[in-house]
Structure 1
């Protein structure tokens, strides 16, 4: 978050600037996993006096604590600031085929709850999931209250469906057979039946996974890309584009649905209504069916079927070998199309395709910068199936940081304006 100057006749001590700078301090500490006041000064450009005043406010409000450890800076040992685990908790619910996962962390990052429920809502009414999600949220709220913790002020729901810019409406969730709907409102109404009021924020899984992967690169000390294209392949084919420190979703909020790039107008009919979309060739379920492993997947599960698919492909067994080779070729073409439009300097591939990077690079495609370090790096995802949840928690924590001043004043938060990390 960049510091912004005051406009017009606004005073330097106006509430808007103070609110912005409170968030600025918290973001600096979050990105560095804590640090001293002098680190905050260097990261934000704020004066030492301003940082002291802001830090004191945040400590009084319970956001920050001083740790017992001391670190040397320029020959002097200084107290380190860190997020308090007694401050506002963050929570997400992840919906994937076959299961639902509830994860809650303290503001400081301590994992409070991590539970998985074997519930499959494919083909069920969307209201059934909304009611189940509301029960999970209400149960979590009761547990937090019993432990003497602060209440939930927002909950993220991670879904594979593209999410509109109001963070409540989703396009058709094709994995579950659900139409376009205001999914956030559905869950909010179910919560109201339990007497609970908390903003429900819809999050696209690929955006969350991309966010976590990019932050992981930063934590590892590698060079930070200016633009990152992320492709997921756990279920269908999802995508995200991170420009600097913002997720690009376009004016409607539904950008980067790379799985529905049309590669063959005469190809298979896609569930989106078009023909020959990338996901009809490279989506895990479609690829398993084309490889003759659909019955195997239904009998043994998708993960086991993907492992068997890899074995047959590497052994040259048909039809698996031909189906995988075609999928890899189309993935490469889709990446090149996306790079032509977005000019990313890093491509991260997650899911089963993360093991196929050499084959993706080997596709004959003429001149390309893909895979050239310093131009367009190609990397496998590092965080596996946890990436979406990790990124969702990061984004929800970032949302609370952006609205720290409102929380301090006791003002309610609005799901539509909660996330400030998108373009």
Structure 2
């Protein structure tokens, strides 16, 4: 809610903080529309003079850019459009079991650079993995410098339960990590906002929400070596009291099934995780990209063993989603990671399984494949930092003012 600064003596600083965020959020929400100052005043309820002053500070800080000239109507002077700056950015980073990835995302949500390298991280010491990741992060920083993009901070996503405040990976069974402190801030050196730690599936869910056109309420299913989930309710990430909501991969789908990395048995991950599908399909040798290509080729050729492996994965995923839908009353599901890549072969078995175990509960049209695929995690990890800038730009605005 906008506040008149003159009506709040002694609290002008707090009022200005709120109104800076209000204006920046309004610019962010308009997307490609690029509102003028007059349009922002009309939309926020602030005076035109107040908006002009706030926008001037946001432009000076580099968070907002002025673009083009157009008329709001037939009369009056042409106004300049406003957008989140493409000259400020955040580095999204991901550690997964068999690869590392980085991406440079500008404030407008454009993925300006990305790089993924295969890396067998299971069982490695966190420090060794972080050293490898720092090399990739340096590539993103070099690209940013070459394009004149100032890096404000970073987001690091890992496949496990994290304590963001303390920068600790509490449990990442597929990496064989438990209670490991990550020196995430060292990845980018001195940046204003540091590096924020998050769960991989949760980051991917947020990436889908903010940049993939996801609905306001959905369950995101992340398919990698492990299977994760992110729950979005009312356009907000739901973590649960302990921060572990959405652990779809460890729903038991077969009580007599094989042992799982979590210590249990018969979890979805043991049937629908990437390695489980490769093994079931008889594709066990080669690099990750090589095995992925072999699986897709075998599926395209309708080879029975590969087709059966993906069919079984889809069936068990349908069992897990039927249970999740009954428990949580979810209305939509978005499949990401290798599930998105296998969508054409996986979806028929998944939908058949859901209809068998929860008939009529979830409209098949609401089970979709993410268009972001693997980039969703990078976008979501970076996007969390971008959202923090939008929600609280005051310190960055203040730092940009001449001493």
Taking structure 2 as the reference length, what is the TM-score of the superposition?
0.82
Q: Given the alignment, which residue of 294, 299, 304 partners 1:310? A: 299
2: distance between equivalents of 1:154 and 1:299?
A: 30
2: distance between equivalents of 1:143 and 1:379?
A: 33
The answer as to 2:250 corresponding to 1:238 is: no
After TM superposition, the structure 1 = structure 2 runs for residues 18-417 of structure 1, keeping only pairs within 5 Å, are 18-33=16-31, 34-41=34-41, 43-70=43-70, 72=72, 78-86=79-87, 88-108=88-108, 113-137=113-137, 150=150, 152-166=151-165, 168-183=167-182, 186-188=183-185, 190=186, 199-216=194-211, 218=213, 225-295=215-285, 301-308=290-297, 310-311=299-300, 314-315=302-303, 317-318=304-305, 320-353=306-339, 354-355=343-344, 356-363=346-353, 364-371=356-363, 377-410=366-399
Check conservation: 2:317, 2:350, Cα contact below 8 A.
yes
Check conservation: 1:207, 1:239, Cα contact below 8 A.
yes
2: distance between equivalents of 1:340 and 1:405?
A: 43
Residues 406 and 264 of structure 1: is their aligned pair in 2 closer, same or farther, counting only changes over 3 Å?
Answer: same
1:419 matched residue in structure 2:
none
Check conservation: 1:156, 1:200, Cα contact below 8 A.
yes
1: distance between equivalents of 2:383 and 2:148?
A: 23
2: distance between equivalents of 1:365 and 1:130?
A: 43
SS at 1:242 equivalent: strand
SS at 1:91 equivalent: strand
Higher relative strand content: 2
Alpha-carbon offset, residue 230 of structure 1: 0.8
Check conservation: 2:281, 2:295, Cα contact below 8 A.
no
Residues 68 and 51 of structure 1: is their aligned pair in 2 closer, same or farther, counting only changes over 3 Å?
Answer: same
Higher relative contact order (CA 8 A, sep 6+): 2
Ranges in structure 2 where 5+ consecutive residues have no aligned partner: none
Residues 225 and 197 of structure 1: is their aligned pair in 2 closer, same or farther, counting only changes over 3 Å?
Answer: closer
2: distance between equivalents of 1:379 and 1:42?
A: 37
Aligned length: 389
Check conservation: 2:335, 2:370, Cα contact below 8 A.
yes
Residues 133 and 209 of structure 1: is their aligned pair in 2 closer, same or farther, counting only changes over 3 Å?
Answer: same
SS at 1:387 equivalent: helix
Check conservation: 1:23, 1:402, Cα contact below 8 A.
yes
Alpha-carbon offset, residue 339 of structure 1: 1.8
Deviations 1:188-227 (A, max 9, x none): 4x569x7888622113222232223233454xxxxx7331
SS at 1:247 equivalent: strand
Alpha-carbon offset, residue 39 of structure 1: 4.0
What is the CA RMSD across the aligned residues, in angstroms? 3.5
Residues 209 and 143 of structure 1: is their aligned pair in 2 closer, same or farther, counting only changes over 3 Å?
Answer: closer
Deviations 1:109-150 (A, max 9, x none): 566643444544333211112233345556766776687764
Check conservation: 2:37, 2:51, Cα contact below 8 A.
yes
